[in-house]
Amino acid sequence: MTRPARTKGIAASIGVGVGPARLAVRGRCGLTHRRIPNDEVAEEVSRFERAVAASRDEIELAKQELTQQHGSAYAPILDVYLLMHTDALLIDAIVDAIRNDKINAQWALGRVVERLKVPLLNSASSYFRERARDIDHVKEHLLRHLSGESRSEPPTSGPTILIAQDLTPADAVHMLAPPTVGLVTEMGGANSHTAILARTFGVPAVVGTGPLPVTVEQDEIIVVDGFSGEVTIGAPPEEQRAAEKRRDRFILFLQSERTTNAVTRDGVSISVAANIELPSEVEAAIANGAEGIGLYRTEFMCLDRSEPPSEEEQLELYRTVVTAVAPKTVVFRTFDWRGDKRLRADRPRKATSSPWGSTLRERERSWLKTQIRAVLRASTEGSVALMFPMVATLDELEDARSLVDACRGELEDDSARLASLPIGMMVEVPSAALLAEQFAAHADFFAVGTNDLVQYTLGLDRRDYRAASAANPLDPAVLRLLNQTIVAAGNAEIPCSMCGDMAADPIGLGLALGLGYRKVSVPVSVVPLVRAVIRNVDLTTATEAAAEALACTSSKEVRDLALGRFGKELGALW
């Protein structure tokens, strides 16, 4: 068979992994279909119940492992699987099918799971499609226990690259520990639980490759490029050596960048903060030298919950983050429940545009107030700011500010009631950028969300992966909105950061610096890279390039221009 074979998937966890393939065998315990006589029904039900109990124990164990290694913040990922083991729609329905249809447990399991998955798979939201995979993962665990088969064990000596069609999160906890140095899965997206776990474990990963172009042999050399999403199967020795060099260079680079300053060639300091989704990322953010948390996407704590944690629970989490980051600042973003990030209780509703503002429903308003009170209370422990997502009108911003005032009034503790808490807004819809001057008079700071701004400006659906990959922050229309925003913030003398992914891309970052952005917030893992890019950029060049880019007529023209200007400066970082 032709080697090397190459394929591309979604780059889910950065770094380069090189090593012999280890195949995570899946699906050996296929579905068997057998009708059962009346007198065997009771035993078949107990056999199924024993499998449920064993599967639950296995996931409970994985949860303990995960908590021991990475703290409790990731436990909710596995809690959802544990909950499914008691879900009437799944477990009771399978027992009913065994009893009523007189079929074996595997057949009943397959039948119920397929029925439950249909509405999820038909959903436009990748969040719900991912939930269909969660059900499949539980099915896999149950099938394994029904057939008495043991799971794949991690290698005893390494390093190895794990190749799987799919990996259940409980198996991922088990298999991603050393000596696994890379992961390739045919299924899954960048925000699947397995991808989140790969990032937590720091294992370079490419997911969602689709069927691999060749049958991978155990132990053949694989290169996983967690930057580009490329996977090489059967890499020849010279390619293997080159990949190992890149891997080592990146590891060294990460270590050396942790202590260097983010100062441009011409001596201007740029603040590089980190975006986090979960509190457990704070440690890595600090280790990578982030100057605080520029965007805390709090909605992720509600992952798979039907409602947010209580005020006390939130307070505990927030306090941990604030004290760990102090004296640097944590910018909390209130829950941003749209598209992929909705609560479970919201399933029947159609996706709405704004999570907030005049359309805010009573229930969401009360959740928001609970959250704001928790943030106010946590703010006494360090330096905290609060911002609202998707603000599109001045009324919404005013509404946001009065909610904070109302929450202050509800607090008993004087220090929390009177705590200093700058109130900012995300600039991520075109209306906010267009009226930036007016908004700047009412906001204490801006944080520009280029991910949404690009989608809304160019009319792309962020939930559609193909449309999302066509999204381009280098479009001159987007650049003009970014320019208008930073100019308005400068005139009003309020801080303005960029926390969308544009700031994590060398060209995007170069142009943002040229437009005048001096604060960025980027994913934890790219903080060192972004600092290195900054140290290689000259602001005079960047300012000229940005001015020219504003006059361009297409993103391609902007890209060519920026490549010409920054290409040499960024050299090897490219």
Instruction: Closer to Mg ion by CB, 292 or 449: give it.
Output: 449
Q: Catalytic residue among 302, 407, 496, 499, which?
A: 499
Whether the Cβ atoms of residue 522 and residue 295 lie closer than 8 Å to each other: no
Residues 423-452 that bind Mg ion (CB under 5 A): 428, 449, 452
Segment near Mg ion (CB under 5 A), from 179-187, 340-348, 394-402, 421-429? 421-429
- From the list ligand PEP, Mg ion, none, which binds 505 (C-beta under 5 to 8 Å, kind-based)? none
Residues 176-195 that bind Mg ion (CB under 5 A): none
Minimum distance, C-beta of residue 529 to ligand PEP, in the bound complex (Å): 18
**Known catalytic residue at 174:** no
What is the DSSP secondary structure assignment for residue 328, as one 8-state letter?
Answer: S
Helices within 475-524 (DSSP H only): 476-492, 506-515
Number of residues lying near Mg ion (CB under 5 A): 3
Minimum distance, C-beta of residue 330 to Mg ion, in the bound complex (Å): 18
- From the list Mg ion, ligand PEP, none, which binds 499 (C-beta under 5 to 8 Å, kind-based)? ligand PEP
What is the DSSP secondary structure assignment for residue 359, as one 8-state letter?
Answer: G
The contacts of residue 283 (CB under 8 Å, 6+ apart) are: 324
Minimum distance, C-beta of residue 253 to ligand PEP, in the bound complex (Å): 25
- Determine the 3-state secondary structure of 162 from DSSP: strand
What is the CB neighbour count within 10 angstroms for residue 129? 18
Minimum distance, C-beta of residue 433 to ligand PEP, in the bound complex (Å): 12
- Determine the 3-state secondary structure of 224 from DSSP: strand
Whether the Cβ atoms of residue 451 and residue 440 lie closer than 8 Å to each other: no
Minimum distance, C-beta of residue 156 to ligand PEP, in the bound complex (Å): 40
- From the list ligand PEP, Mg ion, none, which binds 555 (C-beta under 5 to 8 Å, kind-based)? none
**Known catalytic residue at 29:** no
Residues 10-49 that bind Mg ion (CB under 5 A): none
Distance CA 64, CA 555 (A): 48
Place of tokens 């998955």: 117
Instruction: Closer to ligand PEP by CB, 250 or 332: give it.
Output: 332
Minimum distance, C-beta of residue 462 to Mg ion, in the bound complex (Å): 9
- From the list Mg ion, ligand PEP, none, which binds 297 (C-beta under 5 to 8 Å, kind-based)? ligand PEP
* Residues of this chain that bind ligand PEP (CB under 6 A): 295, 297, 336, 428, 449-452, 499-500
Segment near Mg ion (CB under 5 A), from 149-157, 420-428, 483-491, 558-566? 420-428
Q: Catalytic residue among 145, 193, 302, 496, which?
A: 193
Pick from 163, 169, 200: which is nearest to 185 by CA? 163
Minimum distance, C-beta of residue 502 to ligand PEP, in the bound complex (Å): 8
Instruction: Closer to ligand PEP by CB, 463 or 518: give it.
Output: 463
N-term to C-term CA, the chain: 34
Whether the Cβ atoms of residue 302 and residue 308 lie closer than 8 Å to each other: yes
Instruction: Closer to Mg ion by CB, 173 or 429: give it.
Output: 429
Instruction: Closer to Mg ion by CB, 226 or 508: give it.
Output: 508
| Burial status of residue 218 (CB atoms within 10 A of its CB: 0-12, 13-18, 19 or more) | exposed
- From the list Mg ion, ligand PEP, none, which binds 500 (C-beta under 5 to 8 Å, kind-based)? ligand PEP
The contacts of residue 143 (CB under 8 Å, 6+ apart) are: 29, 30, 31, 106, 109
Whether the Cβ atoms of residue 366 and residue 311 lie closer than 8 Å to each other: no
Minimum distance, C-beta of residue 338 to ligand PEP, in the bound complex (Å): 8
Instruction: Closer to ligand PEP by CB, 303 or 499: give it.
Output: 499
Minimum distance, C-beta of residue 32 to ligand PEP, in the bound complex (Å): 44
The contacts of residue 463 (CB under 8 Å, 6+ apart) are: 124, 125, 126, 339, 340
Instruction: Closer to ligand PEP by CB, 225 or 452: give it.
Output: 452
- From the list ligand PEP, Mg ion, none, which binds 396 (C-beta under 5 to 8 Å, kind-based)? none
Minimum distance, C-beta of residue 416 to ligand PEP, in the bound complex (Å): 27
Instruction: Closer to ligand PEP by CB, 163 or 479: give it.
Output: 479
Pick from 504, 517, 515: which is nearest to 543 by CA? 515
Rg (CA), the chain: 25
Does the CA dihedral 522-524-525-530 come out positive or negative?
Answer: positive
Edge-to-edge, what's the strand order for the sheet holding 5-8?
A: 5-8, 230-233, 221-225, 16-23, 160-164, 180-185, 205-207, 10-13
Query: To 5 degrees, how large is the angle CA 399–CA 405–CA 408?
Result: 145
Give the DSSP H/E element, type plus range, for residue 60: helix 41-70
Contact map string, positions 452 to 471, toward Mg ion, x by CB under 5 A: x-------------------
Distance CA 113, CA 111 (A): 6
Torsion of CA 47, 53, 58, 62, to 10 degrees: 160
- From the list ligand PEP, Mg ion, none, which binds 15 (C-beta under 5 to 8 Å, kind-based)? none
Instruction: Closer to ligand PEP by CB, 137 or 463: give it.
Output: 463
Instruction: Look up residue 450 and give its two tokens.
Output: 């280029």
Instruction: Closer to Mg ion by CB, 98 or 429: give it.
Output: 429
- Residues assigned a catalytic role: 193, 499
User: Which residue ranges make up the site for Mg ion (CB under 5 A)?
Assistant: 428, 449, 452
